[in-house]
Chains A and B, each alone.
Chain A
Amino acid sequence: MIEIKSISKTYDDQKVVDNLSLSVPRSTVFGFLGPNGAGKTTTVKIVVGINKPDSGSVSINGQSPTSPVARKEIGFMPEEPHFYDQLTGLEFIEFANKLFGDGGSPGKDLKDILGRVGIYDARNKKIRTYSKGMKQRLGFAQALVNNPKYIFLDEPLDGLDPVGRLEIKTILQNLKEEGKTIFFNSHILSDVESICDNIGIIHRGKLIYSGSISQFRNGLSLEEKFVETIKSHTR
């Protein structure tokens, strides 16, 4: 279970995350939504332990995300991931795997992961030759090298064409069926609607909704209800 308790974060006198609390049950897919600059990425960075909150706490399976034990169970794909351009896709994925020491995957599994995200054929090409969509897939692949129980994805469907989006959504569905807990940020609401069990909506650093999609929609489309909710909190 992912447990976020009253986290706040301020940058340059601006409160980016404001007393945010939420919990994500195991083996569910959670969509974290919000307009640009709402605090989604800051929240995810705190949840995976990259940055520390000014106050509050986060626990993943009962552990702090900064602990090595928790990090071995986490997979994280940042928004618009960048890599070491001089390396090939396979070299990068091997590098990411080795960072887990003995907790990583065997070499064969790494190639399977690259195949699963659809860049196996480009594995020996330098990353600098990859398209945005291929980099997105590589970012997804590196988040899976340790077979994580908790997967955090920041805008995972950004930059992908419709075929790529469908493929990644299928992988997300499969991961969900394998019992993984998936937390992802997105502004593509149709994708959220088709994948997620629950959603959270953040606006100006505050969580304004957390719960099931059907309860939130209340007869409207997710997009209509989302826009309506954001507008009502902007006034």
Chain B
Amino acid sequence: MNTILVIAKNTFRQTIRDKILYGIFTFGLLFIGSTVILGSLALEDNIFIIRNLGLAGIYIFSLIITIFLASSLIYSEVENRTTYILLAKPVARSSIIIGKFLGLLLAIATTTLLMTLAYIIIVVTNGGGIDYSALAAVGIQMFEMALLIAIIILFSIFTTPLGSIIYTILIVYIGHSLSFMLLYAERSGNLARSVLYSIYYLFPNLEKFNIRNLVVHNISVSSQDTLIVTIYAITYTVFLIYLAQSLFNRKDL
């Protein structure tokens, strides 16, 4: 456990000093700031526009940060042979995977939190009050980021960073389209239906982590739904991390 935490802390420190992170983060803050201007263009209820675009901005920029930083996380360890230094010490391969995952998750949670803080300040200064429900939306969004980090770590064990990015974007697209896919499957023929059902059950349903629309329309989410989403995210993420460390254990370095 100690080595996992040491690796996590080191990954966090390495990540938050990354210039790519600062670049994307700055754009994220600019986008969230620009919602004030876009809100002022609305005929009525500028807070609705600010909340809608602000939450979307937090999601999109967190997603970009996650994909770009996670894609080279394990690949660069192997390519740069930093793993040699780690593995010649009393460090299990699984500790590297879990430590990297936790460190990156913490770095992404930190940047997301800072963007959320900027969002809340903007909402408050525009007369919207403290948007507590937005915190729930961002919290549940972090489950999606955790799951995506696990997916990218899994990919980065056997493919290049570019490959990881492409596959992950595809999974994000599919993962957010599964509800439509299910509807389409019900109207399809046997073969297409079987294929679509397989995709539906195999891919992570990322729409489960999207409560942004409910939040901006002031629709509350039940604690039971939140619990189900939490269990779903943790189960899926733990499974992916387990799979990643199993593959990494077998990999010749």
- Could you list which residues of chain A lie within 8 angstroms of chain B, going by C-beta atoms? 11, 45, 48-51, 68, 71-72, 74-76, 78-84, 86-87, 91, 95-96, 98-101, 103, 139, 142, 146, 152
Cβ–Cβ < 8 Å partners of A51 in chain B: 252-253
Q: Does B172 contact A (CB under 8 A)?
A: no
A141 to B115, CA, bound (A): 40
Determine the residue in chain A with the shortest Cβ distance to B2. A101
Determine the residue in chain B with the shortest Cβ distance to A104. B89
A86: contacting residue among B2, B18, B88, CB under 8 A: B18
Residue from B10, B13, B80 having most chain A Cβ neighbours under 10 A: B10
Determine the residue in chain B with the shortest Cβ distance to A102. B2
Contact across chains for B82 and A86 when beta carbons are under 8 A apart? no
Shortest Cβ distance from B184 into chain A, in angstroms? 43
Contact across chains for B89 and A78 when beta carbons are under 8 A apart? no
Determine the residue in chain A with the shortest Cβ distance to B80. A82
Residue from A51, A83, A86, A99 having most chain B Cβ neighbours under 10 A: A99
User: What bracket does the count of chain B residues touching chain A fall in?
Assistant: 20 to 34
B3: contacting residue among A76, A81, A101, CB under 8 A: A101
B88: contacting residue among A48, A68, A79, A95, CB under 8 A: A48
A45: contacting residue among B13, B18, B80, B253, CB under 8 A: B253
Determine the residue in chain A with the shortest Cβ distance to B83. A50
Contact across chains for A98 and B6 when beta carbons are under 8 A apart? yes
Contact across chains for A101 and B253 when beta carbons are under 8 A apart? no
A225 to B83, CA, bound (A): 36
Cβ–Cβ < 8 Å partners of B88 in chain A: 48-50, 71, 74-76, 78, 152
Cβ–Cβ < 8 Å partners of B91 in chain A: 71, 99
A211 to B87, CA, bound (A): 30
Contact across chains for A82 and B252 when beta carbons are under 8 A apart? no
Contact across chains for B3 and A84 when beta carbons are under 8 A apart? no
Contact across chains for B81 and A78 when beta carbons are under 8 A apart? yes
Determine the residue in chain B with the shortest Cβ distance to A74. B88
